[in-house]
Structure 1
C-alpha cells in the first residue's frame, strides 16, 4: 500500500513528524509531496522560510519517508498518478477549491482511499514563526529619540 500526503513542511517540527509517522503506519510506502515556494504563495500569505531543496533534503532524511516529490503546480492528481497512490492523506483544513475537488474525484473514480487527519495541536510552522517574531520584537532595543 502506497500512502501519499502533501504539504509545505517548512520549519520541520513534531507536528510534521507525528503526521508522517501516522501516514507511514497506514501503508508500506510513504510518498510526500512538497509544495514549491510558488505553490505556497498561491494559498498562504508568506513563502516558506526554508528553501524547497532544504525541505526536500530534511524529509528525505526521515526514516518514515520513502519518496519525496516536489510539486510546482497547485494540483495533486499528477502526484497521485506518479506514485500510484492507494491512500491519499489530507489535513482537517481540506477545502472545496478546484484542486481539492479534482483529486477527490480522481481518487473516488479510481477506487482509492482518502484519509483525513487532525493537525497536532502542539505546534505549527505558523506558530513557530509568530513566536520568533514576538521574541525578536521583545528583545529589540528602543530607538534613541532625537529632538
Structure 2
C-alpha cells in the first residue's frame, strides 16, 4: 500500500536544511505532500512576514523533485490537515518531540494509524540565521 507523507514549513529563503528535510521525508514515504505556511499564518504565529512572498515559496517547493503535492497551510490544526489530505506519516523537527502539544498529537494520530517521524534540523543553516545576517548587512549599509 502506498505510504503518504506530510510535512509543513514556511520555507522562507529556501536553503539546504529545507532540502534535506524534504529529501529525508521522501525516503520515508511513496508520496510526499508539503504544506507551505501562508504569509498571514506566519505573521499571526511568528509576528513576522516571510521575506519571500507565499506564491513564490509555493512555486519553489512545488519545483522540488522530492515533492509530489503542495498545499497551503492556513492554520496549525494537524487533524484538519489529516482530514483533508489523509496522510500516513507526518514529518516534523525533533525540537517538537516531547512537547505537550506533539505528545497529544502523537496519541490522537496513533488512534487513526498516523505515525509522527521526527527529524533533526540542520543546525548551521536556518531561515532565522539568514534573516539576522541580512538585517545586519542592511544596518551596515545604511
TM-score, normalised on structure 1? 0.85
Show the counterpart of 1:125: 127
Deviations 1:83-133 (A, max 9, x none): 221110111232434xx4664343111122110111101211111010011
Deviation at residue 68 of structure 1 after TM alignment: 0.3
- Give unmatched runs, 5+ long, in structure 1: 141-147
Deviation (angstroms), 1:80: 1.9
The one-character-per-residue Cα deviations of 1:30-62 (angstroms, maximum 9, x if unpaired) are 110111122222331312111111111111111
Distance verdict in 2 for CA 1:60–1:53, change over 3 Å: same
Indicate which of 96, 100, 116 corresponds to 1:96: 100
Please tell me whether Structure 1 or Structure 2 has the larger radius of gyration of its CA atoms: 1
- Between the two proteins, the alignment pairs up a number of residues equal to 138
Tell me, which stretches of 5 or more residues in structure 2 are unaligned?
A: none
RMSD: 1.6
2:78 to 76, 79, 85: 76
User: Separation in 2 of the partners of 1:65 and 1:80?
Assistant: 17
Residue in structure 2 matching 1:58, options 53, 57, 60? 60
